[in-house]
Structure 1
Amino acid sequence: MAEYKLEVTTGDMVNAGTFDHIFVTLIGTEGKSERTELDNEGVDFQTGMSVQSYFEYTLLSLGKLLLVRLEKDPLFVLPEDEWYCSKIVVTTPDGEVLLFPCYRWISRGERVELRGGRAMKTFEDDHPVLTDHRQKELIDKRSLYQWAITDPKLPHSSDFENVSDLPAEIAFSMSKLIEMLYAKRTSGAELMFKGLLGSTEQWDKIEDIKKIFWFKETSMSVYVIEHWKDDDFYGFQFLNATNPNLIERCSKLPPNFPVTEEMVKPSLAEGSSMQMEIMKGNIFLCDFKMMDGLPTKVHDGQTLHVTAGLCLFYMNPENQLKPIAIQLHQQPSEKNPIFLPSDSETDWLLAKMFIKNVDLMLHQLVYHFMRAHLLAEVFTIATLRSLPVIHPLYKLLIPHVRHTLQINTMARKSVLGPDGILHTSSLGWDGMMELMRRSLSELTYNSLCLPENITARGLESIPNFFYRDDGLKLWDLCEGNSEALLPSDSDVQKDTELQAWISEIFTHGFLENKASGFPASFNTVEEVTKFVTMVIFTVSAQHAAVNNGQFDFNSWVPNGSLLLRKPPPTTKGQSSMETVLETLPNVGETVKFAAMSWVLSEEYTDVVLLGTYPDERFDEPAPKQMIKDFQADLSCLSEAITKRNSELEVPYTYLNPDQIENSITI
């Protein structure tokens, strides 16, 4: 008799266990075992990563073990209770210990066949049983995960319309859903109690906005309230707040931005000139031309205004980045003056507010939603459709795409939908859609690759750019983690599943735009490494950079509002603080934006940090060591960032590895 020992692990999430009958069949190169129930005394499959040992006996050895088949049958007439099986470890008669990862829910009547933990590419399968299993898995997954085209000029999405339609393997945990609901209801209850929610009243004075939340603040949100008017803090935010993606070095003033030496001389170092500072590399520009001509929302019977402005910055000798000139529309005219720090306090403040308004809309719609959430959804669906669970790239990527479909399915209704919070912005629904279409048509591969992005914007040496400093270190670590698992160039070229994966991404994510520079296929390990690094960086570090600071910087709505009610000023010297209050959102709109920043920046207990691989999917020593090295490197980086931040007046925490999730879950 040949003895096989099975150690079966049940997951530790809520309701992972089952009272149903579980049957197992071992399939090897020399045959298969009997279908045998896994049954010990007492309750077998309890929640909490419980491990139960069983023995399977066969007359002869099954040869090389290929698959472990699991089946679940009902116990009496009890209601369905899906079982979450984490893994099965099999010890063969020869003493070989084999891992069979599962990490999925199993329903009644379902037959699940598990492959071993050693990563295998399609051309490495050496048995017809494995080849057939691989092909059937992909057929089933392509049937389950399908593309939907909601807008032909935007990245395609999954066809799941409701969260309830999602397979359990990619859905949130119950605890995460409960905590998200609690955060939403807590903020809403406080605002309702204060009579702020739904109020159409205008704020009487700026200080009243401090009363929105009594029980929610951070050290950074308090700092923002105290310093939001300061020019040096205003400039700092374009490097290290929620949208560090737009500013670039200015080597020559645009012809439609006629800033003169006389205008900016008071803002420059004594004895210097604008041309001298441009030559030194100290002049920077944010150009919001992408916003030009967008349709806008009708608000209280009036069409709102969105400014496609330009903002010029100067890095002074104290290494402070300050705005020195703002033009609120693309084409200069008498009714489009260039605002300066020497103008009246409220003129300058209004000009900065209108620039922050378009910056925030670009942040939310382009850099946060489209370039993080929507692209992550493309990466997710392509991974689930094109790569079997045994593929090394699937094993590497699945922790980074696990819950993206759920948060995006929710966001399409609660945040971006016609009734969502972003519909309250100055752009409105049509303007938001058009902005994202424009952005995708101009999106380039290099803009998503941080080293090339920083170089293209001329920001390699600008001081106090912590997003760049931390981001480049993280990019290098992700690159090393990706490269360690990838094959040779010849393997890349004959890996049909890998080629299908990148083809789906090119087609459904970048709409086959060859001018964008995105690859449609792979030829070398270097190409695969770069692309996989971009994917992992985008869904982890880049999302953290544009998401995690939203409450810090945006809960104080005067610092940056998605909605401004009055048109931008066309002449100087006509504004007052009353004009500022009339321009800001009303009370109800303000608290809605503040509450959104609370929910989107909340920390939840089931967070899975970058570098964490909670599922044991690799069975080889090399990738296991790679993961340990990656985690050690991330820990060292975290310590260095924490030490640096302790010496800063305004710390930058959003790319500290201990603040970065593995995937987009909020």
Structure 2
Amino acid sequence: MSSIVEKKKLVKGRVVLIRKSVVETISSVQGLVATGIKIINDSPELDITKSVSFKLISRNKSENACKLAGKVGKDAYLENNVSVLRTLKETLEEFDIYFEWDDKDMGTPGAFYVTNLMDQEFFLVSMTIEYSTQTSEHDQNHIHFDCNSWIHNHKCYKTDRIFFANIPYLPGKTPEQLKAYREEELKNLRGDGKGKREKWDRIYDYDVYNDLGFLDSDGQQDHPVLGGLKYPYPRRVRTGRNVIHNNKNGGNYEEQAEVYYVPRDENFSDEKTAEFFILAKKALGGSVEPLLLSLYLKTTSNEFNGFEEVLKMYEGGVNLPLSITGNGNPSVLDFPTPDVIKESKFAWMTDEEFAREMIAGVNPLVIRLLKKEELALPKNTSCNCIQRSTVTKEILEKNMNGVKVDKAFANNKLFILDYYEAFMAYLGKINDLPSAKAYATRTFLFLQDDGTLKPLAIELNKPHQCPCDHPNVETTVVLPADKGVESTIWLLAKAHVVVNDTNYHQLISHWLHTHAVIEPFAISTNRNLSVLHPIYKLLHPHFRDTLNINSLARKSLISAGSVIEQTFLPGPYSMEMSSAIYKNWVFADQALPKDLIKRGLAFEDDANDLKLVIEDYPYAVDGLEIWNATKLWVQDYVALYYSDDQAIQGDAELQAWWKEVVEKGHGDLKAQWSKMHTSHDLVETCTTIIWIASALHAAVNFGQYPYGGYIMNRPTQSRRWIPKPGTQEYDEMTKNPQEAYLKTITPKYQAVVDLSVMELLSTHASDEVYLGQRNSLDWTAHQEAKDLFRRFTDDLRKIENEISDRNSNEGLKNRTGPVKMPYTLLLPTSKPGMTFRGIPNSVSI
């Protein structure tokens, strides 16, 4: 018979997948079940080896001259399961598979279809086939397909699921036989902009922030939809839920849902889901928040009774009257001791630490060089109608160690932390809230010979109805003091500065300038850059988990009436404030060197080298090393694929990607965007995206609890203005400074909620992937790209050692400060947990 029947030619493959585990994904956790889930009743639940089929697609052989698309092979099925153990966590299972494939007739495989006939989804990790090929520049003895995607029942999709080999191609250099498949897959990811998205969908589209909701108590101007000319905002991923009309302000809002849609592959892993919900159970509402509100506060005051009671939160915990675990025993909310008080319980109160945290704390992005024209001239008037600074040279020189202001300006020694513009426009509304009493602050600082910053004065501003009947600004200037009632007033003034800083940090530096602005880039990348595109392979790891964490934030943190509005100073105006600041956001200025130059904290010398004005500026020093290493990696990677600027201009996918980012994702902005015409444009753009998603986010995120977990160091609310002589509050402040301080800042219940959220956001998941790492060694078949990435990893390892060396240098006083906290936020790697270090690839928490 063997002489009559031709022997079939078989190609062996290995399929790696994960079946749905006991710990389900975030879209199906009990209590977060998506509305409108479609159950497929007409598909038999079969054994996976009989119900999942694969078909190879040729990259260099067509069906015929009229149909250039690559030939499609016959169905093949899984067999020989080599993994037998299932656990509660995700478990990789490997299967053998054999394809009937004759390369003389079918050519070389470049893609494959997969069809799932089961009701249950599974996660396809990869497929590798043993295949020797010398038909491309990527000669290899196997072909690898890096998949990392959930596969639902085939009836959920309009077209078959397709995956491509991990060989990168620019659009114009794609094999002819794969072009149609490449374009079809992008079309599927873009969708048609219609209908409600289901949990299995993989569609990336844009929408405004109309899913934050509104309150029945709102007035006509409250909780507007964000996105558009009046309230510009970055776009978020479209979900297509039904909208309801708000008759008060005329806005159309998406209906609330148990879970907000994100494209299926954007969900957290099972492992991260389990870890996240253990922490989130006490942080984002659930049982803790209403329990504290309705029971705990009925049995105790919402005011802390002295600094010792605050410390008890970390030395015994907060006792609750009921069990939140269901075991019948009263529960205790215990919090880990924040780093800022581990070495000393009072070093946070020093002026040196107050100033140091402006360049080495959780928000080192706002301080800037003071300009001469910002100082006021002496005024001979009793009317305080001045909107510019009232601080004069004479005021500053009182604390400048004998140095004159003019000399300090000449030597770039004067700096300012300025929150006037950001807060003044909303202070009227904020101070009308029941418990809010806030200023817009300016803090003036002097760079001393030892490299540390010394606070010189704090200017407190608030709207004021002047006796001359002009609405204007009431200004108070407070000077440093270390004795008597003046020292308490100075401490209170610093608290008001930090309240400004904490709110700006959370709403702007953290949420807006990392989470929100990066989402449009993630959407456009998936819509316009094929998985085959080398720039997709460069950027995609830097969007991991971002859409998902942002959707959770919109539901539980920044929505109307939720955590941010309950516990942060601007309350219901929080998101509207971030919209007002977004108007002036410029993407190009987010590049670290440009940001430092714009703030006057760096300059280019005659050799075009960047020099720091404050040499011991931990965020800038460490950040520039990370930036430079990242830019070198991006620059050399881009050079692998683009021979000249014409290649960039002629890349249709790349041009569509950038056009959509500018015109749709960030379409509300009027600021000029750079073109995508040159290699320099592409390198600068990609480096800036990676910087925002990785190092910038790490710098403003993972220090939240280490610095802010001690609520007195970084309060989120201010509830009293500085008391004036002759008032009851002034007498109370004189008799009991601690009570005056605690009654000024965040009260007990709001502090507990804040700490819970900060602990969650400051924690690394076990499956985190850090800068210089990839979750797959086979992310590309291009060996030269892998070699460049390995060099990048090595560069980051060297930088990590250099940062540790700097932190050991006692001469660099800003590295640790009075609180003895080494600046570790830009150390690239980390272990899981709250480590106060580590740069994840993406905005993943």
Please tell me the residue identity of whatever aligns with 1:279: A
User: Match of 1:302, SS?
Assistant: coil
Instruction: Please name the residue that 1:532 is paired with.
Output: 686
Instruction: Please name the residue that 1:206 is paired with.
Output: 307
1:183-210 Cα shifts (integer Å, max 9, x gaps): 2346799997998678652122122111
Distance in 1 (CA, whole Å) between partners of 2:796 and 2:19 is 26
Alpha-carbon spacing, 1:97–1:551, altered in 2? closer, same or farther (3 Å): same
1:307-360 Cα shifts (integer Å, max 9, x gaps): 222110111222221211011117899952210003711110111111111111
Distance in 2 (CA, whole Å) between partners of 1:570 and 1:309 is 18
Instruction: Please name the residue that 1:644 is paired with.
Output: 806
Instruction: Please name the residue that 1:625 is paired with.
Output: 787
User: Match of 1:471, SS?
Assistant: helix
Please report how far the alpha carbon of residue 51 of structure 1 lies from its aligned counterpart in structure 2 after TM superposition.
3.6
Distance in 1 (CA, whole Å) between partners of 2:593 and 2:788 is 23
Task: In structure 2, list runs of 5 or more residues that go unmatched.
Answer: 1-7, 25-46, 64-70, 135-139, 192-202, 210-225, 240-256, 316-334, 377-387, 467-472, 602-611, 810-815, 830-837
Alpha-carbon spacing, 1:80–1:149, altered in 2? closer, same or farther (3 Å): same
Please tell me the residue identity of whatever aligns with 1:535: I
Instruction: Please name the residue that 1:341 is paired with.
Output: 480
Please tell me the residue identity of whatever aligns with 2:233: L
Please report how far the alpha carbon of residue 291 of structure 1 lies from its aligned counterpart in structure 2 after TM superposition.
1.1
In the alignment, structure 1 residue 133 sits paired with structure 2 residue 294: no
Distance in 2 (CA, whole Å) between partners of 1:355 and 1:370 is 20
Distance in 1 (CA, whole Å) between partners of 2:269 and 2:428 is 38
Report if aligned partners of 1:158, 1:381 keep a CA contact under 8 Å in 2: yes
Distance in 2 (CA, whole Å) between partners of 1:501 and 1:119 is 17
In the alignment, structure 1 residue 40 sits paired with structure 2 residue 82: no
Alignment partner of 1:62 out of 99, 102, 106:
106
Alpha-carbon spacing, 1:359–1:136, altered in 2? closer, same or farther (3 Å): same
Alpha-carbon spacing, 1:424–1:116, altered in 2? closer, same or farther (3 Å): same
Identical counterparts, % of pairs: 24
Please tell me the residue identity of whatever aligns with 1:216: P
Instruction: Please name the residue that 2:673 is paired with.
Output: 518
Instruction: Please name the residue that 1:663 is paired with.
Output: 842
Report if aligned partners of 1:310, 1:326 keep a CA contact under 8 Å in 2: yes
Instruction: Please name the residue that 2:68 is paired with.
Output: none
Please report how far the alpha carbon of residue 419 of structure 1 lies from its aligned counterpart in structure 2 after TM superposition.
2.6
Aligned counterparts, 1:429-440, within 5 A? 429-440=571-582
Distance in 1 (CA, whole Å) between partners of 2:94 and 2:568 is 55
Instruction: Please name the residue that 1:258 is paired with.
Output: 390
Please report how far the alpha carbon of residue 643 of structure 1 lies from its aligned counterpart in structure 2 after TM superposition.
2.4
Instruction: Please name the residue that 1:98 is paired with.
Output: 143
Distance in 2 (CA, whole Å) between partners of 1:566 and 1:434 is 23
Report if aligned partners of 1:67, 1:113 keep a CA contact under 8 Å in 2: yes
In the alignment, structure 1 residue 123 sits paired with structure 2 residue 224: no
Distance in 1 (CA, whole Å) between partners of 2:744 and 2:105 is 79
Report if aligned partners of 1:100, 1:116 keep a CA contact under 8 Å in 2: yes
Report if aligned partners of 1:87, 1:103 keep a CA contact under 8 Å in 2: no
Alignment partner of 2:620 out of 448, 468, 471:
468
Q: Which has the higher contact order (CA 8 A, sep 6+)?
A: 1
Alpha-carbon spacing, 1:642–1:226, altered in 2? closer, same or farther (3 Å): same
Please report how far the alpha carbon of residue 258 of structure 1 lies from its aligned counterpart in structure 2 after TM superposition.
3.1
Instruction: Please name the residue that 1:21 is paired with.
Output: 51
Instruction: Please name the residue that 1:654 is paired with.
Output: 825
Please report how far the alpha carbon of residue 570 of structure 1 lies from its aligned counterpart in structure 2 after TM superposition.
5.8
Report if aligned partners of 1:200, 1:588 keep a CA contact under 8 Å in 2: no
Instruction: Please name the residue that 1:603 is paired with.
Output: 764
Please report how far the alpha carbon of residue 146 of structure 1 lies from its aligned counterpart in structure 2 after TM superposition.
1.3
Alpha-carbon spacing, 1:71–1:88, altered in 2? closer, same or farther (3 Å): farther
1:229-283 Cα shifts (integer Å, max 9, x gaps): 10000000000111111111113133322334443334222x3222222222111
Please tell me the residue identity of whatever aligns with 2:186: L
Distance in 1 (CA, whole Å) between partners of 2:344 and 2:708 is 9
Task: In structure 1, list runs of 5 or more residues that go unmatched.
Answer: none
Higher mean displacement: 42-51 or 315-324: 42-51
Please tell me the residue identity of whatever aligns with 1:105: W
User: Match of 2:407, SS?
Assistant: helix
Instruction: Please name the residue that 1:108 is paired with.
Output: 153
Alignment partner of 1:325 out of 439, 457, 464:
457
Please tell me the residue identity of whatever aligns with 1:69: Y
Instruction: Please name the residue that 1:308 is paired with.
Output: 440
**TM, length-normalised to structure 1:** 0.91
The root-mean-square deviation of aligned C-alpha atoms, in Å, is 3.0
User: Match of 2:712, SS?
Assistant: helix
Higher mean displacement: 219-228 or 437-446: 219-228
Alpha-carbon spacing, 1:452–1:366, altered in 2? closer, same or farther (3 Å): same
Higher mean displacement: 65-74 or 9-18: 9-18
In the alignment, structure 1 residue 544 sits paired with structure 2 residue 640: no
Please tell me the residue identity of whatever aligns with 2:407: M
Aligned counterparts, 1:166-205, within 5 A? 166-185=262-281, 200-205=301-306
Report if aligned partners of 1:307, 1:568 keep a CA contact under 8 Å in 2: no
Distance in 1 (CA, whole Å) between partners of 2:520 and 2:502 is 24
Please report how far the alpha carbon of residue 112 of structure 1 lies from its aligned counterpart in structure 2 after TM superposition.
2.0
User: Match of 1:245, SS?
Assistant: coil
Structure showing greater Rg: 2
Alpha-carbon spacing, 1:141–1:24, altered in 2? closer, same or farther (3 Å): same
Report if aligned partners of 2:341, 2:348 keep a CA contact under 8 Å in 1: no
Report if aligned partners of 2:590, 2:692 keep a CA contact under 8 Å in 1: yes
User: Match of 2:162, SS?
Assistant: strand
Alpha-carbon spacing, 1:156–1:190, altered in 2? closer, same or farther (3 Å): closer
Higher mean displacement: 165-174 or 655-664: 165-174
User: Match of 1:344, SS?
Assistant: helix
Please report how far the alpha carbon of residue 471 of structure 1 lies from its aligned counterpart in structure 2 after TM superposition.
0.6
User: Match of 1:337, SS?
Assistant: strand
**TM, length-normalised to structure 2:** 0.73
1:164-189 Cα shifts (integer Å, max 9, x gaps): 63333111012212212212346799
Please report how far the alpha carbon of residue 120 of structure 1 lies from its aligned counterpart in structure 2 after TM superposition.
1.0
- How many residues of Structure 1 are paired with residues of Structure 2 in the alignment? 658
Higher mean displacement: 531-540 or 95-104: 95-104
Distance in 1 (CA, whole Å) between partners of 2:682 and 2:668 is 18
Please tell me the residue identity of whatever aligns with 1:517: Q
Distance in 2 (CA, whole Å) between partners of 1:349 and 1:335 is 20
Higher mean displacement: 462-471 or 297-306: 297-306
Please report how far the alpha carbon of residue 411 of structure 1 lies from its aligned counterpart in structure 2 after TM superposition.
0.3
Alpha-carbon spacing, 1:268–1:82, altered in 2? closer, same or farther (3 Å): same
Report if aligned partners of 1:232, 1:321 keep a CA contact under 8 Å in 2: yes
Please tell me the residue identity of whatever aligns with 2:661: I
Distance in 1 (CA, whole Å) between partners of 2:621 and 2:807 is 13
Distance in 2 (CA, whole Å) between partners of 1:193 and 1:395 is 47
Distance in 1 (CA, whole Å) between partners of 2:84 and 2:127 is 12
Which has a greater percent of helix?
1
